[in-house]
Amino acid sequence: MTRNRMIYGVLTLLLLVGVPLTGFAESQTSVNGKPILVSVVSTTVSPEPVVLADICPIAGKFDGSVSVYAKNLKTGQVMVFNPDQIFASASTIKVPVSVVMYRQFYDLADQETRRKYDNGISLMLSISDNDYFADFLDEIEETIGPEIIQQHFVQLGMKNTTLRDPQARKDFGYSNVTTAVDMGLFFEQFYLGNLINNEKTNFMKDALTNTIFNDELPRYMQGRRVLHKVGELDDILADVGVVEGEAGPVIISIFTKTTLDTDYASDYIAALSACIYRRLTGETTDWKGL
C-alpha cells in the first residue's frame, strides 16, 4: 500500500459566520470571565470494560507499543488494551486545540479573525495543517497558558494530556502527550455536542469526515461515515474518531509506536478498527480477518 500524505488536492472551504458559543458548565478557572472547558458526565453507563485481546487477538500481535480505547455510544460497552499508556499526541491534539479556539477566542474576535479561525481549523482537521496549529498554540500559550488548559483537560477526564509541557518533554520526549482513553473520552464529549455549539460542532465534524487521510480507521468500514483525526510522527501512528452505523456510533482511539515502517502500523490500525467495530456492533466490515 502506498501512502500519499503530501497531496492536499483542492479544498472548498465553507467560511462560517461565528455566533456566541454556549454549552459549557461553569468552572473555577476562567479567562475574560468565561470558563475554558467543562466537566461533563457521559450520557451512557458503561458495562464492565472488555479486554480487547480476548476477542480481537490481533490487538496483541503488534511489533511495538499499542494502546486502545473503544466505546459503543449506544450500548455503553467499552473495550480497552493498555488504555492509559502515554504516547505523543501528534496531530490528534489538533481536535482539542480547535475546540479551545472556538470556545475561548472565536466569539471575542472580529469577522476577519473569525474567518481565519474557521479556515485554520478546517485545514488543521482535513489536511493536518501545521502552520495554523503553531499559530493557535502560540495564541493559547500567550493568552491562557498551557497549564490552565491542562487543568480543564483533567476535568474532562483527560488526566494525561499536555500542551507544550516541559516536564512531559523531559519524561517522554514530547511536550504534547496523551493516552488512548484520554482522546476517546474527549471525542465522546465532542461528538455528543457537549463542548461547543451545534453549528461549530457540525463544522468540525464535516472537516474530520472530509480528511485526506483515510488509510487507517475508515479503510474497512464499507462507506460508513467516519469522522477522525490521524496523528503521525517518525515512530508514532494514531487514529482517533467515530464510526457511525445503525448499531453505533462507536468511538475508536488507537495509538501505536514502532520502529517498523508506517505502512505496517497503518495496516494494523485499519484491521484492529474493523475488528473492534464488528465486535461492538455485530455489523459487517470489509476486513477478512477473524
Q: How much is the pLDDT for 44?
A: 47
Residue 288 lies in a domain: no
Number of structural domains in the chain: 1
CA distance 8 to 6: 6
Residue 117 lies in a domain: yes
Residue 29 lies in a domain: no
Which one, of 185, 165, 187, 186, lies nearest residue 177 by Cα?
165
CA distance 98 to 132: 10
Residue 22 lies in a domain: no
Non-local CB neighbours of 217 within 8 Å, separated by 6+ positions: 226, 228, 239, 241, 243, 252, 254, 269, 270, 273
* Residue-wise pLDDT tens digits, 85-98: 999 999 999 999 99
Residue 28 lies in a domain: no
Q: How much is the pLDDT for 46?
A: 56
pLDDT band at residue 12 under the 50/70/90 scheme: very low
Residue 259 lies in a domain: yes
Domain of 266, in residue numbers: 43-281
Output the CA angle 184-13-251, nearest 5 degrees: 15
* Residue-wise pLDDT tens digits, 19-77: 333 333 333 344 444 444 443 434 445 567 777 888 899 999 999 999 999 999 999 99
Residue 173 lies in a domain: yes
Q: Give the pLDDT mean for 202-216.
A: 97
The CATH number of the domain where 96 resides is what?
Answer: 3.40.710.10
Which one, of 176, 191, 172, 200, lies nearest residue 250 by Cα?
191
Residue 195 lies in a domain: yes
